[in-house]
Amino acid sequence: MAKIILQGIPVSVGIAIGKAYLLNRDHFCLGPIQNISEDLVEEELKRLDRGFNITISHLKELKSRIPSEQTEYASIIDSHIMMLEDPKLKNAINKYIKEMKLNAEWALEKGVRDIEKSFKGIEDEFFRTRISEIKLLSRKILGNLIGAGDELKPIRSRVILVAHELTPADTVEIDVSKIMAFVTVLGGKTSHVSIVARTLGIPAVVGVEDVENFIVDDQLIIVDGFTGRILIDPDDEEIAQYIEKEANFDKYKRELFQERAIPGKTKDNFSVKVMANIELFEEVSSVIDYAAEGIGLYRTEYSYLYRSKLPSEDELFEEYRDLISFMDSKPVVIRTLDAGGDKIGKGFEKLEESNPALGLRAIRFCLQFKSVFKTQLKAILRACVAGNGLLLLPMISGLEELKEAKLVLKEVKEELRREGKEFREDVPLGIMIEIPSAVLMAEALAKEVDFFSIGSNDLIQYSLGIDRTNKYVSHLFQPLHPAILRSIKYTVDVARKAGISVSMCGEMAGDPFCIPLLIGMGVDTLSTNPHSVPGVKRVIRMLSKKECVELLEKVLKNNSVKENNKLVKEKIFDKIPEELTFYTSFFAK
């Protein structure tokens, strides 16, 4: 048996067996806190500037070495450069030099801690994980301040990379072709290490506490990207078992890839479109490669993150136009900004909220700052001339909010006409159903829009009062909770009655335990990450609409999560055991 077995969060499926490579950044420390005299303040400010400038120059040099086919890395490094050039970061550090007379190293430490505190309470994992990048950038600056640099030791053979956390810049500095898997202490399903792992098609496990204290360089380990287990010094029997599991998964992936273009149609000819969710333009190649039938959710927040100024209408127009053109006639659902002012550029620093997740974000922020909203709406309407674009509004809570947003949309069209700009008049309008109040108001909301998109992650979180990233309560995040299933069923029924389409774009869309129930409800589209598209299609093809309806009827009669899980597992294991071998531990909660 393995010497030690650690548990983490699986964020990219697969099996890796190999030697560990530790990315150890603790090669220097701050030392005792130092106070400086007034006459040294200016010199410390200059030292800090030099530390920033050297770090920025290093990032730009890294960017220049990126191959043209790896543009996703270039955009990530651009975002890091923008973070370092944003005066908010440097000002947070400078105040400790000027006001508390700390040396540059300790001012850096204090300033970054202040920023970290401001991020606490943000429920959205995508934004919360950005603090990890700021902290690692600060380590680079610190290394340059004390002359230690931040060079990584060379990788000479294929290894499993183990780190406390991993920055996008690290993935450029290292030779990713030699990386078999990633294991980190920090990170989440939307962190860059997860995105890179899924893009490369290698396993990754994050959230492995104290992993650096248990593993040494060149130690043999096994990474199980399905269960999140890390086996240290496995025995021969375990190695043999995982070699077999790895071979089976490789065979399964090849089969799925070969049949990726076959539509998702049940045995009794009920068609379900399978589309992809993406947040970076560069991910569109994966959408095409894995034969998704469109982009069911394009998250637009990345274009706004940590900029010294907001993106212009033309800048956004070109991004959205290129995306829609690339997808040809396939649908591209563009969701408007789903963030708050603390994350989208200069001018909103004074917005202080104790709980941003329930504060001025998404459609609320856009209706408060209509100039930001109008700029994005103009760009979307203009871009939709290029193809099959759709407009999606997030976090709608009621009818008044939706009508106000539609009024802004009407004003935008009038402005575009006056400006003589070409745009599409009849862009389909949809809303996210992700707040319980939207479910309860679904009948009224359905009369105002062309489609619903159910965001299962937030709907579950808000309905059950669960932070799914909180290790103490994450086990209560249950997609098959009777309240959740009844909410989704009601939403789909309302959409059907109103004659509008309905899609599912949360994790439930890629979960084999949930897919039969969603088919039974009559969901039109399932939208998941690009790599999961072929597997979701296969699950659909192995079911019949009739049996899915029968299963749904039985489940809806239950008042217990435990009973629902048991019933669905029994049925699904019987119907699609092969898929469950590779999916259950990764998706099912």
How many whole angstroms separate alpha carbon 110 and alpha carbon 96? 7
Average pLDDT, the chain: 85
Amino acid in the structure at residue 74: A
User: Going by C-beta distance under 8 Å and a sequence separation of 6 or more, which residues neighbour residue 247?
Assistant: none
Q: What is the pLDDT of residue 91?
A: 86
Nearest to 515 by CA among 268, 272, 198, 225: 272
Segment among 191-195, 203-207, 513-517 with least mean pLDDT: 191-195
> What's the whole-model pTM score?
0.74
Nearest to 581 by CA among 527, 520, 535: 535
Q: What is the pLDDT of residue 588?
A: 37
Residue 45 has pLDDT above 80, yes or no: yes
The alpha-helical segments, DSSP class H, found in 465-523 are 482-498, 515-521
User: Going by C-beta distance under 8 Å and a sequence separation of 6 or more, which residues neighbour residue 112?
Assistant: 92, 93, 134, 135, 138
Residue 547 has pLDDT above 90, yes or no: yes
- Same topology, domains 4-25+153-254 and 267-551? Answer is no
Mind giving me the DSSP string for 361-421? Answer: BHHHHHHHSHHHHHHHHHHHHHHGGGS-EEEEE----SHHHHHHHHHHHHHHHHHHHHHT-
Q: What is the pLDDT of residue 161?
A: 93
Residue 174 has pLDDT above 80, yes or no: no
User: Going by C-beta distance under 8 Å and a sequence separation of 6 or more, which residues neighbour residue 25?
Assistant: 136, 139, 150, 163, 164
| Mean pLDDT (whole number) for 503-516 | 90
CB-based contact 491:440 (threshold 8 Å): no
| Mean pLDDT (whole number) for 334-349 | 71
SS3 518: helix
Residue 492 has pLDDT above 50, yes or no: yes
Segment among 148-157, 161-170, 276-285, 436-445 with least mean pLDDT: 148-157
Q: What is the CATH number that goes with domain 267-551?
A: 3.20.20.60
% of the chain at pLDDT higher than 70? 84
Q: Residue 34: which pLDDT band, with cuts at 50, 70 and 90?
A: confident
Q: Residue 574: which pLDDT band, with cuts at 50, 70 and 90?
A: confident
- The pLDDT tens digits of the residues spanning 290-324 come to 999 999 999 998 888 756 678 999 999 999 999 99
| Domain 4-25+153-254: top CATH class | alpha beta
Nearest to 49 by CA among 144, 133, 166: 144
Q: Residue 149: which pLDDT band, with cuts at 50, 70 and 90?
A: low
Q: Residue 584: which pLDDT band, with cuts at 50, 70 and 90?
A: very low
Q: What is the pLDDT of residue 141?
A: 86
| Mean pLDDT (whole number) for 16-41 | 75
Strands 159-163 and 15-23: parallel
Higher pLDDT, 151 or 523: 523
User: DSSP state, 186?
Assistant: S
Q: Residue 440: which pLDDT band, with cuts at 50, 70 and 90?
A: very high
CB-based contact 174:161 (threshold 8 Å): yes
Residue 30 has pLDDT above 60, yes or no: no
| Mean pLDDT (whole number) for 36-60 | 88
Q: Which two tokens stand for residue 487?
A: 């909410």
Q: For the CA atoms of 581, 585, 586, 589, what is the dihedral angle to 10 degrees?
A: 140
Strands 9-12 and 204-206: antiparallel
- The pLDDT tens digits of the residues spanning 365-410 come to 999 999 999 999 999 999 999 999 999 999 999 999 999 999 999 9
Residue 589 has pLDDT above 50, yes or no: no
How many whole angstroms separate alpha carbon 395 and alpha carbon 198? 28
- Mean pLDDT is highest, among 124-128, 141-145, 263-267, for 263-267
How many whole angstroms separate alpha carbon 554 and alpha carbon 567? 8
User: Going by C-beta distance under 8 Å and a sequence separation of 6 or more, which residues neighbour residue 117?
Assistant: none
Q: What is the pLDDT of residue 587?
A: 41
Cβ atoms within 10 A of the Cβ of 419, count?
Answer: 10
Q: What is the pLDDT of residue 33?
A: 64
Segment among 51-55, 280-284, 350-354, 540-544 with least mean pLDDT: 350-354
- The pLDDT tens digits of the residues spanning 465-478 come to 987 656 577 678 88
Q: What is the pLDDT of residue 375?
A: 97
- The pLDDT tens digits of the residues spanning 532-544 come to 899 999 999 999 9
Q: What is the pLDDT of residue 36?
A: 83
Strands 229-232 and 9-12: unpaired
**Active-site residue list:** 192, 505
Q: Residue 241: which pLDDT band, with cuts at 50, 70 and 90?
A: very high
Q: What is the pLDDT of residue 347?
A: 56
- The pLDDT tens digits of the residues spanning 251-265 come to 888 888 899 999 999
Q: What is the pLDDT of residue 586?
A: 41
How many whole angstroms separate alpha carbon 400 and alpha carbon 238? 59
CATH-assigned architecture of domain 38-145: Orthogonal Bundle (1.10)
Q: Which two tokens stand for residue 102?
A: 């700390």
Q: Residue 506: which pLDDT band, with cuts at 50, 70 and 90?
A: confident
Listing from the earlier edge strand, what are the strands of the sheet with 4-7? 4-7, 229-232, 220-224, 15-23, 159-163, 179-184, 204-206, 9-12
Q: What is the pLDDT of residue 373?
A: 96
In the chain, DSSP finds a helix count (H) and a strand count (E) of 23, 16
Cβ atoms within 10 A of the Cβ of 40, count?
Answer: 14
- The pLDDT tens digits of the residues spanning 71-113 come to 556 666 777 788 888 787 888 889 889 988 888 888 888 888 8
Residue 550 has pLDDT above 70, yes or no: yes
Q: What is the pLDDT of residue 282?
A: 77
CA angle 265, 582, 274 (to 5 degrees): 30
The alpha-helical segments, DSSP class H, found in 504-544 are 515-521, 533-541
Domain map (residue ranges) of the chain: 4-25+153-254, 38-145, 267-551
Residue 76's alpha-carbon distances to 83, 133, 214, 450, in angstroms, are: 11, 11, 31, 34
How many whole angstroms separate alpha carbon 411 and alpha carbon 426? 14
Q: What is the pLDDT of residue 487?
A: 98
